[in-house]
Amino acid sequence: MYLAQCAWLIRAQTVHGFLPDSDHALCIYDGLEQWKGKAIAATPEALHAEAATGMPSAGRAGHLRVRDGYDVDRTPFYYLVAAAPALVQPDVLATNSPLGQIWGATPYLFFGFMLGASLWYVSRRLYGDAGGYIALTLYCFSPGMILAAAGTKSFGELGGTWGAFGTIFTAIAAAHTLYAPREVVLWNWRRIFLLGLSVALAVGTQVSLAVVALAALLLMFWVAPVRPRAVIAIWGAAVGVGAVYVFAFYFFQPRLFGQALLRARWTDIEPHAFAMITSYSHTWKMMAANCPAFMLALPVALIAYCTWRRARYFGNSAPLFVGAMLFALAVASPDLPAQGFELAMTVFLFVFAGGVFADLLETKGRVFVTAGIGGLLVASGVWNFVQLWRLR
């Protein structure tokens, strides 16, 4: 149903003439150049002409930020993903046709599908079927998640969101194995490579998402405080693997890789934003736009978590901790990094809400909880279908 909504939205946008903006067109062009063995995307070799001046495109206000010819927010991975469908697009699919637009969005549809599958897997493992279904339904009917895969103004962020999600929960899974009497690094080599890939996906899409790797380290210490050296060994090995993946995005050109790392905007926090009420209201409005139904479910989940001791265990606390951290970063960040933080924050809070409501479903008031959350999820789905139908 999630993919069907994305396909419907792409079709509707194509019919009404809403095409990707100039920044995305530039990403496709530069990505194709790199795939063909020419200039490396996100570097001065590719970001020339008006793009290299740092001026925003006409389509979006400053979503391409350049310093000394380097994209400070993204690596070539973002460009390579954007260009991959065009590299192998069948001749029978016209670029301006609905099927052609769907083909062009294939990588983002894949990221969206896999993020939903990962969300389901993690939530179900943590909270059982009820928690998994609640989190997954919130995700599948989230306008923000649909737009991130199919919208013309928000391409690309889902890859980083999936990477951030994988970084946190793969790190937690690896930390749980440290209680077994085994050689930790060798035994966890699969998780290390998966964790490294997750870090590379997050950083490759938005370099400031590297902060989730630090959050993952803190959670690993929380899970396995008795083996700090093992935690550092696994985390360090995974970050090293991730660095190799990111190096590969630059086609193993050390000079460009080193210069890009020096110019990347790893942190982009404006401290004075914490004192501005407009920063909080903007982030709150974006959360509401990402999933209106969630704005009713989240306060209930937070109240239950704060007032009910049973809900305050690691499985609920970890996604809330990461979500709160990403909320703070979204409040204090400019527009582009904030978008990535907001999407990732929403996914982690879906997991948190799924866990708390799964706990509430085991209480004596489960009939009322079932009616409330069930009605909310059904209403969310109906509202989505109505909005999509209006775009036909």
pLDDT in tens, 21-42: 667 778 888 999 999 998 899 8
Q: What pLDDT was estimated at residue 52?
A: 41
> So what's the pLDDT on residue 19?
60
pLDDT in tens, 304-321: 999 999 999 999 999 999
- Kindly state whether residue 75 falls inside one of the protein's structural domains: no
Domain that holds residue 374: 122-390
- pTM of the predicted structure, to 2 decimals: 0.92
Domain membership of residue 276 (yes or no) is yes
**Is 64 a residue whose pLDDT tops 80?**
no
> Is residue 166 a part of any domain in this protein?
yes
Q: CA nearest 134: which of 338, 327, 301, 343?
A: 301
SS3 71: strand
Residues 5-9 have a mean pLDDT of 93
- Looking at the structure of the chain, the number of domains it has is 1
Return the structure tokens found at 156: 């690309």
41 lies in a domain? Answer: no
In a domain, 348, yes or no: yes
Has residue 357 been placed in a domain? yes
List, in sequence order, every residue forming a beta bridge with 67; answer none if it has no partner. Answer: 70
DSSP annotation of 40 reads: P
For residue 175, give Cα distances in angstroms to 127, 145, 188, 251, 360.
19, 29, 10, 32, 28
Q: Is residue 181 part of a domain?
A: yes
- Residue 67: strand, helix, or coil: strand
The answer to whether residue 153 sits within a structural domain is yes
CA 381 vs CA 9, 137, 292, 372: distances in Å: 15, 8, 11, 14
